[in-house]
Structure 1
């Protein structure tokens, strides 16, 4: 009734197969960092990983995989969200980018301290209201919330104690 699948031998792992897999990933899902692409290839071709790095080197030489370009695009998209510079660094680091690349991209963001304060104030207002927070426990909770979103302590503290009457 049901056709039994015969024991199909897996294809041999070759340089061309690894390279085509990496290119397929990039075409299908967009840009990847070099580290993430190598991890995915190592996971799929764990039986023989000798071709993974040469295939990745080929893509890097041709400019198909470029960590700096990837980091710049990711930094730009993250900077538009309501998160601080520390959270942006954390997300870039999670993608497997080098600290030099991360610092270069984050320092290139044209966001001032005042703009980060405005973002922090929006988050504080959304969760805790417009009034400055006087209750110590609630203030600590608000500070933890803003710091977890990537804002520095000074910006978070300034946003928590900000009063709209100070203008």
Structure 2
């Protein structure tokens, strides 16, 4: 059998399952992944979607893949980079993390979002409060893009 013919032959199910698990473990060794994100990455590698789902279920059962752990890591990572909860919530929803899990991760975070908004504003624009409305509006738009809500914006501009 030539190499081209061999490449066209699918792997036997057991070998395919082992290959999927190995590739998933390699990805998880680098960083936490959302289950949906990992599923998508594995599917791009031409793995059978049903087997990918089965392997991911096994990884969840083994405690190696966790949406909760991913959400906690994402909240911690993004908050340390000055990203607010509105944007974090959207990023987690984009990788299909459950809304209840998102709220739990944000609530469990020990981040003082008001203080973070003030810190991010001061880092970008300096410690002094803006003197006129256009400067304040510019700073507020910046913080909104970063993912801070109106209450946090108001806290950042309180004297």
Band the TM-score falls in, shorter-chain normalisation: 0.7 to 0.9
Match of 1:154 among 143, 151, 156: 151
DSSP-derived class of the 1:50 partner: helix
Match of 1:125 among 103, 122, 134: 122
Counterparts of residues 76-91 of structure 1 (less than 5 Å): 76-91=76-91
Q: Does 1:62 align with 2:67?
A: no
* Contiguous gaps of at least 5 residues in structure 2: none
Counterparts of residues 18-167 of structure 1 (less than 5 Å): 18-27=20-29, 29-45=30-46, 48-111=48-111, 115-160=112-157, 162-163=158-159
TM-score (norm 2): 0.79
How many residues in Structure 1 have an aligned counterpart in Structure 2? 152
Give 4+ residue runs of structure 1 displaced > 4 Å after superposition.
Answer: none
Given that residues 34 and 65 in structure 1 are in contact (C-alpha distance below 8 angstroms), is that contact kept between their aligned partners in structure 2?
A: yes
- Residues 64-83 of structure 1: per-residue CA shift (max 9 Å, x gap): 11111222233233333323
Superposition CA RMSD, Å: 2.4
Q: How big is the shift at 1:56? A: 1.3
CA distance 1:130–1:98, change in 2 (3 Å): same
Q: How big is the shift at 1:8? A: 6.4
Give 1 or 2: higher helix fraction: 2
Q: How big is the shift at 1:123? A: 2.3
- Residues 74-102 of structure 1: per-residue CA shift (max 9 Å, x gap): 32333333232222223322343111111
Distance across 2 between alignment mates of 1:129 and 1:21: 46
